[in-house]
Amino acid sequence: MRGQQGVRVRPSRGSLDQSLDELKLAVNYMRTDTAKRIADLNDFCRTSMGEPGLVFQTNGIWDLPFWLQSKIRERIQIFNAFSPVNDPRGLHKSGALECYGTTVLWEVEYCDSNMYQTGTEDASDPTTTRVLVISLASDRRVN
């Protein structure tokens, strides 16, 4: 590595490990064509609030004042904080955000055309039904 005026600088071992970890994350985040297509379809579902699919809000969201529900949906539509850390596969499938002190989670689920089975085989297929699920973080319980 070269510093100012061509002086050779030897980085510390810690910074080399950190740089290597960052490089691995960046390489893993480079999306395939299929992942890019899925991300584009998920973004379309999220930014158009279910126009090409459906929107499902949990009871916790429905219990909030209407103005706050509207703000939450607006923040989800403009969400763009995807990174290799929170979106390692680059699919833009889920996210978390704060809205007026309320922690909200959202996720795009895939269903077959009859809406009977989640986890369709081909999420890159534009005919796959997408369901944008919006919930409070407190709605998600781990058993």
Q: What is the pLDDT of residue 133?
A: 94
pLDDT per residue as tens digits for the range 48-72: 986 788 899 999 999 999 999 999 9
pLDDT per residue as tens digits for the range 7-46: 444 444 555 555 656 655 554 555 578 899 999 999 999 9
How far, in Å, CA of 95 to CA of 80, rounded? Answer: 9
How far, in Å, CA of 14 to CA of 5, rounded? Answer: 24
How far, in Å, CA of 129 to CA of 53, rounded? Answer: 6
With 50 as the cut, is the pLDDT of residue 4 above it?
Answer: no
Domain regions of the chain by residue span: 34-139
Residue ranges of the alpha helices (H) in the chain?
13-29, 33-47, 59-62, 66-78
